[in-house]
């Protein structure tokens, strides 16, 4: 339920052109940091490396932006709404660090493994096997 409300909130914020941000106090001596919500995405062409990144707009819009400079057909393999873009991207990149190809692109197999773990966690939170089956439709 919370995930659904978060997705709806992101869609409304995006439609209104509003960037939702929350201030988080890090400690008495550290300045507050802005936490932005959005999407952690996995974009690829079905064969090669996978791009793992974040966007404040929709994952489909980001994919279209990336498509401009790519001769192969890209698709959003998976995207998940996150409440802290910077932290989510940093954690994903750290987990995949040894499989880094260049920029935000990572070797296909380890990246797919991380993507599936995220899908299973999302399915567990959202209602089990049925949710998992729905999130994996259309996957390569």
What are the per-10-residue average pLDDT scores of the chain (140 residues)?
43 39 45 78 94 94 93 94 90 93 95 88 68 47
- Residue linked to tokens 């993507």: 115
Residue 62, pLDDT score: 95
The residue ranges of DSSP E strands in the chain, in sequence order, are: 21-24, 33-36, 38-44, 50-55, 75-82, 100-102, 105-106
Residue 30, pLDDT score: 61
Q: Which two tokens stand for residue 33?
A: 């940091």
Q: Which two tokens stand for residue 55?
A: 């966007």
Q: Output the CA–CA distances (angstroms, integers) from residue 36 to 15, 21, 23, 42, 91, in the order listed.
A: 16, 5, 9, 19, 15
Residue 102, pLDDT score: 95
Residue 118, pLDDT score: 85
Q: Which two tokens stand for residue 114?
A: 């991380």
Tell me how crowded residue 120 is: count the other CB atoms within 10 A of its CB: 15
Residue 9, pLDDT score: 45
């Amino acid at each position: 339920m919370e995930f659904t409300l978060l997705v709806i909130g992101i869609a409304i914020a995006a439609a209104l052109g509003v960037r939702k941000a929350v201030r988080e106090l890090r400690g008495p001596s550290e300045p507050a940091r802005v936490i932005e919500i959005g999407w952690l995405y996995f974009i690829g062409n079905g064969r090669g490396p996978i791009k793992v990144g974040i966007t404040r707009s929709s994952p489909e819009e980001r994919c279209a932006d990336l498509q401009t400079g790519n001769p192969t057909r890209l698709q959003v393999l998976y995207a998940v709404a996150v409440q802290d873009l910077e932290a989510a991207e940093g954690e994903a990149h750290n987990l995949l660090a040894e499989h880094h190809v260049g920029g935000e692109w990572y070797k296909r197999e380890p990246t797919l493994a991380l993507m599936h773990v995220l899908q299973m966690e999302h399915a567990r939170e959202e209602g089990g096997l049925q949710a998992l089956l729905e999130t994996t439709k259309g996957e390569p």
